[in-house]
Chain A
Amino acid sequence: MPATIEIDEANGAGETLSHNIANSNMGNTDAKELVAANYPITPGENSYEKWQKIHITAMGGSSKIDNLKIWRTGALGGSATHKTNARTTSYGGAPTYATPVKTASSIATQTMPTSEPATANLGIGGSLTGALTGTGSSDYLVHQIQVGAGDTAGSSSTMHYQYDEVA
């Protein structure tokens, strides 16, 4: 039996953690599974940051989970950019949770990859070479959409959360 994995998202000042979220819709409110049409990002501004993590809730028959890779496929609207703390070099360690903001993120500062990274870009225990041998979570993945002043169209794309599972 494989490990059981879910994506969790934290929101609010109190770090309320929602387990097993259904989507990563981004917009002008700090909420999980938001309806983007109801919370469009104002042109020239940013989405609220997303604070998410990969959560191993059961190891099944596996002995180790590691090599976490995060990327997005699909174009963004207009001149929008997608920023993240995920990176394969100069990784900043596990970020300490802070209430999500819609000002330009000071943590999500590198462009989200649009294809599978060659190596891990999200850490476990603050390190890209970290691993989980029991239930637990990755470091927080922080990401944010930053849109241009002339951008009026939204977009739909796919987030990829990949991991290696050692039997």
Chain B
Amino acid sequence: MKHICSPCGLEFDSEAEYLVHQCSVAKDNKPTSAEFLKETTTPNVEAITASAIERGREKK
């Protein structure tokens, strides 16, 4: 089955490939994977995680 991103017209061989592509047209409602969302919408996720781990250590 072929997958097409309707807004930008790019074609993909699998849904997985479609889900991680960065659409150049539908930027405000870009289909994406949970992993990609984590990377793009929470750019400081690593810092937050490190901080949480540190707080956990302090609690112990």
What mask results when residues 18 to 60 of chain B are scored 1 for a CB within 8 Å of chain A, else 0?
A: 1100010010010111100100010000000000000000000
Tell me which of A57, A59, A60 contacts B19 (CB under 8 A): A57
A32 to B2, CA, bound (A): 14
Contact (Cβ within 8 A) B37 A20: no
Most-contacted residue by chain B among A15, A17, A18, A58 (CB, 10 A): A58
Contact (Cβ within 8 A) A18 B6: yes
A1 to B45, CA, bound (A): 15
What mask results when residues 95 to 132 of chain A are scored 1 for a CB within 8 Å of chain B, else 0?
A: 00000000000000000000000000000000000000
Q: Is A21 on the interface with B (CB-CB < 8 A)?
A: yes
Residues of A in contact (CB 8 Å), total 21
Most-contacted residue by chain B among A15, A20, A21 (CB, 10 A): A20
Most-contacted residue by chain A among B2, B4, B29, B41 (CB, 10 A): B4
Which B-chain residue is minimally distant from A17 (CB atoms)? Answer: B3
Q: Is A135 on the interface with B (CB-CB < 8 A)?
A: yes
The smallest C-beta distance from B14 to any residue of chain A, in angstroms, reads 11
Contact (Cβ within 8 A) A22 B34: no
Contact (Cβ within 8 A) A19 B2: no
In the complex, chain B residues whose CB is within 8 Å of the CB of A55:
31
Q: Is A164 on the interface with B (CB-CB < 8 A)?
A: no
In the complex, chain B residues whose CB is within 8 Å of the CB of A4:
29, 31-32, 37
What mask results when residues 56 to 78 of chain A are scored 1 for a CB within 8 Å of chain B, else 0?
A: 01111000000000000000000
Tell me which of B3, B4, B26, B34 contacts A135 (CB under 8 A): B34
A6 to B23, CA, bound (A): 14
The smallest C-beta distance from B11 to any residue of chain A, in angstroms, reads 9
Residues of chain A touching chain B, judged by Cβ–Cβ distance below 8 Å, are 1, 4, 6, 9, 14-22, 32-33, 55, 57-60, 135
Excluding A15-B1, A19-B18, A135-B19, 8 further A-B contacts by CB distance (< 8 Å) are: A1-B37, A16-B3, A17-B15, A18-B4, A19-B3, A20-B6, A32-B6, A57-B33
5 interchain residue pairs of minimum CB distance = A57-B31, A18-B6, A18-B4, A16-B2, A21-B6
